[in-house]
């Protein structure tokens, strides 16, 4: 998964900021920094937030999968709690 695709999917969902809004790129870099462990200066050097580094693409793929699972389990557990309270 390319960094720009990861950001386009998760920055709006996690932070409520769309690509057109001020602060999007900063949040994108912050999220990529957290997920990949790479320095912000390294991330800033990627033209259009793309990279050929396969290990980064795989890290982002796994982070995407983890985020999807987390969202699913949160929704599932909320529904389960709602069922038990009524």
Number of structural domains in the chain: 1
As a whole number of angstroms, the distance between CA 18 and CA 7 comes to 10
Domain with 77 in it: 3-85
Specify the 3-state DSSP secondary structure of 50: coil
Distances (CA, A) of 56 to 3, 40, 74, 78, 80: 8, 14, 27, 33, 36
Reported as a single tens digit per residue, the pLDDT across 28-41 is 999 999 999 999 99
pTM of the predicted protein model: 0.83
User: pLDDT per residue over 27-82, tens digit each?
Assistant: 999 999 999 999 999 998 988 889 999 999 999 999 999 999 999 998 888 766 55
Q: Whole-angstrom Cα distance, residue 6 to residue 74?
A: 20
């Amino acid at each position: 998964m390319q960094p720009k695709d990861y950001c386009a999917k998760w920055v709006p969902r996690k932070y409520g900021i769309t690509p057109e809004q001020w602060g999007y790129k900063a949040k994108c870099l912050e999220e990529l920094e957290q997920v990949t462990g790479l320095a912000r200066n390294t991330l800033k050097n990627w033209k259009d937030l793309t990279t050929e580094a396969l290990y980064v693409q795989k890290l982002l793929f796994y982070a995407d999968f983890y985020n999807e699972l987390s969202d699913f389990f949160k929704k599932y557990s909320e529904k389960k709690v709602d069922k038990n309270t009524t």
